[in-house]
Amino acid sequence: MLRQLREHFDLLRPRSLTRMRKSLDDMAEGIRELRRAAKEQARVAARVEEMHERLRELGEKVDALTLRESQLRAVVKADAFFEEDMHRLSAICDEPRILAHVRDAVARSRPKTDPLPYLVVPNVFPPDFYASLVRAIPPIELFADRPHNKRQMTVPFTYGPAFSRAIWTFLVDIVLEGAFQPAIIEKLREPLGEFIAQEWPPLAADPLGPPMDLHSTDGRILLRGRGYRIAPHRDPKWGFITVLLYLARAHESEQWGTQLYSVDEDAAANTIAPHWIDPARCRLKVDVPFRRNTALVFLNSRGAHGAYIPEDAQPADLQRYIYQYRIGPTKAAIESLVAMLPHEQRSVWEGKMVDYLA
């Protein structure tokens, strides 16, 4: 007991108190130093993070500039390659001959109804025009601003080789609008009319009359390769008809075209967005080959379609090109058609236009 009291008194001596006070002061200063160091470290870390972000942004800009430089170089090279073709452009784009050929090709095709209304149109274009069209597909560098198997180019092109822009604009504005689209609509008049009458009963007497005004939309060249897969689905609802032009090159395999499915307990899509369907409900009915100078045309009303390319497809750098577009009502027609619907049905046809390729 006396020893414990003596120890307490020793602690209370001035010299002991001074030492304790100094130790506490040293500890407090150490804590302040640690706090200052921590704040400085946080500032350094923030600065480093900022520098990393700026380096990332600069890297992206360098990559974008490198890509653009390679694209411009490819365009210049292609312009030189197509110089002679440009001189023959008017002969290649022989409008009366090509339009007559397209109309005859559609007229010879036979519509089918299982698993959905569709037709396959072989030899869509004169062979020489088709060959020029395929040769004029823009350089692969111009597709490189999108991820693998999502690459596409909207037609007409924003930029590209002059010959490519000229012949593809001629295809879309003259050939498809002037011959192919009217012939397709006429060929599918009966199932298309039934589909329109089902959705808009007041138009049953004349489904393709006013306010129905159809035009081509969403035209783009798609580039696909190994590992591509798109599950069974129906396209966005306002695209009444889907057209796929197979841009197969000479000696290219006809494998891995487009699959058409029937659907168990099939029902209409309840939004205007792409309508994805459980593969377990789908039954493969038709496997359309990827055949050169061929078009697959189908009504986007029932059933489903899909496509795939295996991971081990050959060659390793396989490139598949397809021109896809849709035929559907113009914006003004859409407004009129929606206004005709009962209020409880409008939600099915209203909303933001979306696309699975975006």
> What is the residue-wise DSSP string for 6-31?
HHHHHHTSHHHHHHHHHHHHHHHHHH
pLDDT at 18 over 50: yes
Residue 349 confidence class, pLDDT cut points 50, 70, 90: very high
116 and 40 together in one domain:
no
Burial of 172 (0-12, 13-18, 19+ CB in 10 A): middle
More confident residue, 7 or 49: 49
Q: Which pTM was predicted?
A: 0.82
Tell me, yes or no, whether 154 and 286 share the same domain. Answer: yes
Q: Is the pLDDT of residue 358 over 50?
A: no
Tens digits of per-residue pLDDT, 87-113? 999 999 999 999 999 999 999 999 999
Residues 206, 164, single domain; the answer is yes
Q: What does the pLDDT look like over 27-60, one tens digit per residue?
A: 777 788 878 877 777 787 777 777 677 767 766 6
pLDDT(187) > 90: yes
Please give the residue range of the domain that contains residue 6: 2-67
Residue percentage of the chain with pLDDT more than 90: 67
Joined tokens for residue 91: 């002969």
Task: Supply 74's token pair.
Answer: 């490819």
Task: Please check whether residue 323 lies inside any domain of the structure.
Answer: yes
Same domain, 58 and 104: no
5: pLDDT strictly greater than 80:
no
Q: Do 182 and 264 sit in the same domain of this protein?
A: yes
Considering the domain boundaries, does residue 87 fall inside one? no
* Residue 51 within a domain: yes
pLDDT (0 to 100) of residue 135: 95
Regarding whether 112 and 50 lie in a shared domain, the answer is no
Kindly tell me if the per-residue pLDDT of 61 is higher than 80.
no
Percent with pLDDT over 70 in the chain: 89
Task: Specify whether 35 is located in the same domain as 125.
Answer: no
pLDDT (0 to 100) of residue 10: 55
Kindly state the DSSP code that residue 234 receives in the 8-state scheme: E
> How distant, in Å, are the alpha carbons of 120, 135, 275 from that of 354?
27, 31, 11
The answer to whether position 125 is within a domain reads yes
- In this structure, the answer to whether residues 219 and 292 fall within a common structural domain is yes
pLDDT averaged over every residue in the chain: 88
